[in-house]
Structure 1
Amino acid sequence: MLFAQRAFHIAGIYGLAVLLPQYFMELLPPDFVKQQLGEANVPGAVHPEHFYGFVGVAAAWQVAFLIIARDPARYRLIMIPGILEKLSFGIPALALFATGRLSATTTFFGAIDLVFAVLFWIAFKKVGSEAPAN
């Protein structure tokens, strides 16, 4: 149970730390954002509603991870969509990088999500094996 608590707690805190600052990127001077991210990677430049929707949904999942960390046995089944949440960015990130459509920096964050997907799967299996038989 301790493994699951730590994996989901770390994932939730990490995710919020990475995602929430993105809400304020549009407030920064455009030249600064372009200098930091590159012209092609300016988030929300064409459709800000998609960008903010992504950040909002992703941040909500980080809160769900913190809830799972509080009682992994109780919320074990929610780990499955949590795994899918991590795979939904990690796999496309690798595929886009392989085709030259994604920067190495963004791919690195996708790889971190894949690591969390594996940790979540291990946690799911461990919590299942630790649960008392009914």
Structure 2
Amino acid sequence: MSPGTARWLFRGAAIYGLIVLLPLYLLEHQVAAPAAALAHPEYYYGFIGAAAAWQLVYWTIGGDPVRYRAFMPLGVIAKFGFWIPTFLLWLNGRTPTSTFAVTNVDLLLGIGFFVAWWGLKAPA
């Protein structure tokens, strides 16, 4: 993968992630409350904040993919760290198909991040 393609991949992932995550700050009662009483809202808001911070890491990697190549495997772990549990929950009937379908974007991005890492040469 060329540095230019990796740049677009990581910057696109960052933009997509922020578009998906930031509205959740305003949707606690629609997203979290129907599932169960939200006894610890700090987990809900903490997840959004931590995930949004990762989008800024992806943006930074996209700014200079060769320089920040060492961080790419962490992005793979972050993407698979969300997709794998959601997949397992879906298999066990504990999350709806619609939620699982949306998380498949994370699977594709995780694979893309791995391909970018594998395909770029480490800086000299």
- Residue in 2 that maps onto 1:39: 34
Cross-structure match for 2:120: 127
Q: Counterpart of 1:114?
A: 107
Query: % of aligned pairs identical?
Result: 39
Greater shift, 103-112 or 80-89, is seen at: 103-112
What do the CA deviations read for 1:38-92 (whole angstroms, capped 9, x no partner)?
A: 832x7x8231100011000000000100010000011001111111000000011
Q: Deviations over 1:91-116 (max 9, x none)?
A: 11111100000111211122110110
2: CA distance, partners of 1:63 / 1:109: 21
1:56 aligns with 2:58: no
Distance across 2 between alignment mates of 1:112 and 1:120: 12
Secondary structure of 1:124's counterpart equals helix
Distance 1:51 1:38, change over 3 A: closer
Q: Which of residues 16, 23, 41 in structure 1 aligns to 2:18?
A: 16
Q: Considering only CA atoms, is the larger Rg found in Structure 1 or Structure 2? A: 1
| Structure 1 residues without counterparts, runs of 5 or longer | none
